């Protein structure tokens, strides 16, 4: 399990190195409390940002988020990384999204 986490971290940071200095398209998103914000508001003072797209029905997505949650504090301490998880579920599934986010 530890090897899988290390591999996932290595792969994630390797992929991040290819996306440095790229601009994220400006898109409006809704938060769980129904507020709207724009992706241009993502800021982490030059530190890495990992954006994970997921869905409640996607078992690999849930597993990835759980794995990230296990190592997030260490990543945060070491790199200052910020993880932003964006659900692609539609509004009808909002009641399924909230428990996953709060877990």
CATH number, domain at 53?
Answer: 3.40.30.10
Question: What pLDDT shows up at residue 77?
Answer: 92
Radius of gyration in angstroms for the set of CA atoms belonging to the chain, rounded to a whole number? 14
CA angle 51, 53, 58 (to 5 degrees): 145
- Looking at residue 15, its pLDDT comes to 52
Which of 2-6, 49-53, 92-96 bottoms out in mean pLDDT, i.e. has the lowest?
2-6
91: DSSP letter: G
Token pair 């909002």 is found at 94
What average pLDDT does the segment 45-67 reach? 89
- Expressed as residue numbers, the domain containing 8 is 2-102
Our count of domains for the chain comes to: 1
């Amino acid at each position: 399990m530890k090897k899988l986490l290390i591999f996932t971290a290595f792969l994630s940071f390797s992929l991040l190195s290819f996306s440095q200095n790229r601009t994220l398209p400006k898109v409006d998103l809704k938060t769980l409390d129904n507020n709207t914000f724009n992706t241009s508001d993502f800021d982490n003072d030059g530190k890495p940002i990992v954006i994970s797209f997921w869905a409640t029905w996607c078992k690999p997505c849930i597993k990835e988020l759980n794995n990230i949650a296990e190592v997030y504090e260490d990543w945060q301490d070491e790199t200052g990384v910020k993880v932003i998880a964006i659900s692609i579920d539609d509004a009808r599934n909002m009641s399924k999204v909230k428990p996953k986010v709060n877990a």
